[in-house]
Structure 1
Amino acid sequence: MWNKFDIETMIEPGCVKRTPKHSRWCDYETKGDEYKLAIFGNSYTKNHHKMFVQECKNRAYNITMDSERGCEPLAATPSDHPCVKKLSEFVEFIESAKPDYAFIFTRFFAVADPFKDKDNQDMEHDRTYIEMKSQLNKFLPNIKKKLYILDSFPRANAGYISHVASDLKNEKSIEEISKSLLRPDGYERGRLRHAALVKECGEKCELIDYLPLLWNNATSTYQYFDKRGFSYFTSPNHLSAHGIELVRPIYTKICASLK
């Protein structure tokens, strides 16, 4: 069910289009009276938005959303011309919204692009990091309080997800299954760049990290499924409904602590 319908099963109705110019920009008018929130990024934004609205609607009077397929707000691979174009549109979105708090929801693409010299991770001369810093500096003047950024984490091996439950039933070890399910794809580069970016940003930026929730101390590996074999991810590498419930407490806590 989760694989077949994926994001379509997790849509929160009632998001009103903001402008004919940008078909993906929309607003939720919510129950709270304290804050204006913005959520933006690639398809992870749409993947997370229903849960986010549920957890934050009592603190916010408006939640505005921009979910762009495959494109990240902080960086774009130079050869990916549609996403290069989207960089300025993300800036325009935040300039238009002027939220109190903003949240970037992305699975990594460009932010984890290889370093020009794999033996030299000097951020000062790294093209991707320079672009990330430039984008951040355009976002921050239009965000009143804080920007939250979802940190990079390994992708799931999409082709193996459907085999997890049967392999678990056939007594394949959790460690073996976990190793087969993980597809790291250089996510560490994204984490290095995010860490440097947030360090430069200071108190106005904060990372959201899913890895502690996915770590299994007993096997010393990341585990993307529960003890029954239910996967936290779908084949398109979005969080399944089960995965969304795993991370929900993070947003419950964040939204309860906004001030």
Structure 2
Amino acid sequence: ESALRDAVTFGAADLLVMKLTTSILTHRALQIIGDSSYTLYLIHWPVVCILKAYECTRWTDRLVAMLLCFIVAILIYNSYEMWYLTLSEKGTLLLVGVLYLATASVYIFYHRMEREEIIQGTTEKALSFGEARVINLQMDMQWETNLRFDNCSLRDPKVDWNPWGFCNLPAGNGNLSFLIIGNSYAANHGKMIVEHLRDHYGRIAVHTVSECEPLIVTTSIYCSGAVKLQEEFLQDINSFKPDVLFLSSRYIEPNIPIGTMDVKDDQLYLAMMQKLKRYEEKVKKVFILQAFPRPANLQKIEDGRMKENRTIDEYMEEAIEADSIPMRRRVEELAKNCEKCVIYDLMQLHMDKGKFMVANPVTHLHYFEALRHHTRLGEKLNSRSRKCLIGRSQTGRATISQTIQKPRQSHDF
């Protein structure tokens, strides 16, 4: 093959040097091919790429592709190329500008679409650290936009604003009424409930309050009047009258030690149980989001590792800011002693070989943004929660849908 290429190249050079004008060399068909040669050169490269991409190795495929290249090149030369050769300097400059603009527009469109697919988790593509960092910073800045609900009807527009406050959402296809209460995770993970349990609920609403937890008197400076807000949650239940209540809350301090040998004697557990009983008596079933480790600000962790010339991994020990073992024990005990309660657990979706993953191992994109909410990629990971296991000591394990569909397995509504 190499020798043939050399022979053709040197043969063509000899013909040019000798300036032969035989009837064969001046035939109209060869003139057409010669005039179209530059166009043919440009066209054959994408065709070669397509053949390789689709593994077209048969000689018939290559022959057809070669013939098509000749035909398309001739058509383009006689239509487009012959036309633009007649343009003036200004016309040519305008054409070049339009072509550059069209090329840039196509590139930006597909690049943005690809980036959106990567962020949404619908596709996985290995990214360089620089590419991943740009997207991670973008997701950090879009945290509040990511929390907002579509088609949210605010109860009191003077006080509430999406995603904060009380929000009525479009009706589903079922007969039950759902109410989701909690801090920002009520919005962050509430979307998962809205999307995957649509066939079970008719009415559905969400009440989201920054930082404040339904079962714990939050001491965060961002949660003002925690006790009063818990009373507001109770008022929401009284007025909305939900069949199913979701306590979807990020535990601000999941690592508070258990103060006694028996978790049932722990003061924080007892306070949580007291509040839970008040919620439980007003509804037919309560789902409680289980605690999981609190991630650190991943951008800062990566900056620190870069300064120390250390690798950036999907699991980094210092990326876990607070362990969740004490709070998980409390929540497990709540479910054991609450007749209508079920816990649903997202932690297992982050686990790989016993480690809590904070980033996608292929794309290096974060599952959590700077304020510890799940990114859209993290939400995509958690969307598997309709198949996710939820725990109850009395009834074993089942999916959320199974628990709702088969209430007798974990108490009737």
8 Å Cα contact 2:247-2:287 kept in structure 1: yes
Structure richer in strand, relative to its length: 1
1:58-207 pair list within 5 angstroms: 58-77=199-218, 82-109=225-252, 112-115=255-258, 117=259, 120-144=260-284, 146-160=285-299, 163=302, 172=311, 174=313, 177-183=315-321, 185-202=322-339, 204-207=340-343
Structure richer in helix, relative to its length: 2
Q: CA deviation at 1:106?
A: 1.1
Flag the 1:251–1:18 CA change in 2: closer, same or farther, 3 A: farther
8 Å Cα contact 2:254-2:293 kept in structure 1: no
Matched residue type, 1:248: S
Aligned to 1:230: 365
Q: What is the rounded CA distance, in whole Å, between the counterparts of 2:203 and 2:245 in structure 1? A: 12
1:38-53 pair list within 5 angstroms: 38-53=179-194
Aligned to 2:379: 244
Q: What is the rounded CA distance, in whole Å, between the counterparts of 2:158 and 2:247 in structure 1? A: 22
Matched residue type, 1:215: M
Aligned to 2:139: 2
8 Å Cα contact 1:42-1:107 kept in structure 2: yes
Q: Deviations over 1:181-233 (max 9, x none)?
A: 222x242221111111111114x21111122111111xx32111111211110
Q: What is the rounded CA distance, in whole Å, between the counterparts of 1:105 and 1:66 in structure 2? A: 10
* Rg larger in structure: 2
Q: What is the rounded CA distance, in whole Å, between the counterparts of 2:253 and 2:146 in structure 1? A: 28
Q: CA deviation at 1:49?
A: 2.7
Q: CA deviation at 1:84?
A: 2.4
Aligned to 2:148: 11
8 Å Cα contact 2:181-2:214 kept in structure 1: yes
8 Å Cα contact 2:386-2:400 kept in structure 1: yes
8 Å Cα contact 1:37-1:63 kept in structure 2: yes
Q: What is the rounded CA distance, in whole Å, between the counterparts of 1:42 and 1:77 in structure 2? A: 10
Flag the 1:112–1:171 CA change in 2: closer, same or farther, 3 A: closer
Aligned residue pairs, count: 247
Q: CA deviation at 1:101?
A: 1.5
Q: What is the rounded CA distance, in whole Å, between the counterparts of 1:6 and 1:257 in structure 2? A: 32
Q: Deviations over 1:73-97 (max 9, x none)?
A: 0111469762122121222222222
Quote the RMSD (CA, aligned, Å): 2.8
8 Å Cα contact 1:10-1:47 kept in structure 2: yes
8 Å Cα contact 1:44-1:107 kept in structure 2: yes
User: Does 2:167 match 1:26?
Assistant: yes
Matched residue type, 1:131: A
Q: CA deviation at 1:172?
A: 2.5
**Higher RCO, 1 vs 2 (CA within 8 Å, ≥6 residues apart):** 1
Q: What is the rounded CA distance, in whole Å, between the counterparts of 2:140 and 2:250 in structure 1? A: 17
Q: What is the rounded CA distance, in whole Å, between the counterparts of 1:138 and 1:36 in structure 2? A: 19
Flag the 1:97–1:21 CA change in 2: closer, same or farther, 3 A: farther
Q: What is the rounded CA distance, in whole Å, between the counterparts of 2:349 and 2:263 in structure 1? A: 28
Q: CA deviation at 1:103?
A: 1.2
Aligned to 1:214: 350
SS of the residue corresponding to residue 65 of structure 1 reads strand
Gaps of 5+ in 2: 1-137, 388-398, 406-413
8 Å Cα contact 1:147-1:205 kept in structure 2: yes
Q: What is the rounded CA distance, in whole Å, between the counterparts of 2:244 and 2:197 in structure 1? A: 11
SS of the residue corresponding to residue 258 of structure 1 reads helix
Q: CA deviation at 1:44?
A: 0.7
